[in-house]
Amino acid sequence: MANLKEVKQRINSVVSTQQITKAMKMVSAAKLRRAQDRIVQMRPYSQKLTNILTNVSAASDGAADIIYAQKREVNKVLIVPVTSDKGLCGAFNSNIVKATNAAIREQFAGKEITILPLGKKAFETFKKREFPIVDQFFGVFTDLSFDTVREAAEFAMNGFAAGEYDQVVLVYNEFKNVATQIIRTEQFLPMAKEENEQEEKATETDYILEPSRSYIIEELVPTSLKIQFYKAVLESNASEHGARMTAMDKATENAGELLKELRLMYNRTRQAAITNEILEIVAGANALEGS
């Protein structure tokens, strides 16, 4: 059995760890509130812009001349895994790495793969692999804004337009709630046409476009794509804080359980030590009486 000093040191260590995890949970909760507000405000705008673009393209048969919608034989693929810059968020980062590896192994086996990591964890993981790495944008979360994310989106869009990549895929965590993140492996380019009843109705709608269809398509398409890219990054950012908050809450609970066990062990050790001292005193007193 450990002595009192060792048990006391372990208790102090666990108490310090519990204080840190509590503080990290509170910080993550504050950051989550802001990140959640951003993604909640972004979702309707992104969806509406995408719907407008889909309706205009369908109604005017304009999808054929949109360079970002052109489908070709897939030989070169750009994969964009979105992770965090830091750890201590459970399986948040490892799930993205696993999903990326699964996509490479199952969907793009034999293809020429390039990785554009967003987040330091993705960069540190995939730079050890044999794939070419685009290392210009992994620090987007240092100063997360539309402008910083737009540069990464433009890189992917320009690469696709120039024929450097035949397909661009995003792998990220979609925010559902504090405890739940949904892993998405989503085609970014070429633009995927969503087939639904609303779109079918939109095809029959007669639109009056000013100043011209081509101008609206040229303006809307890049903007819509950048918004979709930014939305995926915001989803991942909110998911990260939710995952870290959950992980730190669980760590705090585990520390509390461990403290109960250690304090019980401390009391038992202390009781045993006192009992031994009493026995030694009694034995010494009996020895003196016998002599």
Q: What is the DSSP letter of 114?
A: E
CA angle in degrees (0–180, nearest 5) for 240-244-249:
150
DSSP H/E element including 234: helix 213-290
CA distances from 152 to 6, 10, 157, 172 (A): 52, 47, 9, 15
| Strand, helix or coil for residue 117 | coil
- Exposed e or buried b per residue across 119-153, where buried means at least 16 C-beta atoms within 10 angstroms of its C-beta: bbbbbebbeeeeeebbeebbebbeeeeeebbbebb
Beta-bridge mates of residue 78: 114, 168
- Looking at residue 91, the DSSP 8-state letter turns out to be T
- How far apart (Å, rounded) are the C-alpha atoms in residues 39 and 290? 84
Closest CA to 245 of 13, 10, 35, 11: 35
Q: CB within 8 A of 234, min separation 6: which ones? A: 35, 38, 39, 42
Which residues are marked as active site?
89
Cα atoms found within 13 Å of the Cα of residue 291, Cβ hemisphere only = 5
Q: Copy the structure tokens of residue 251.
A: 């760590």
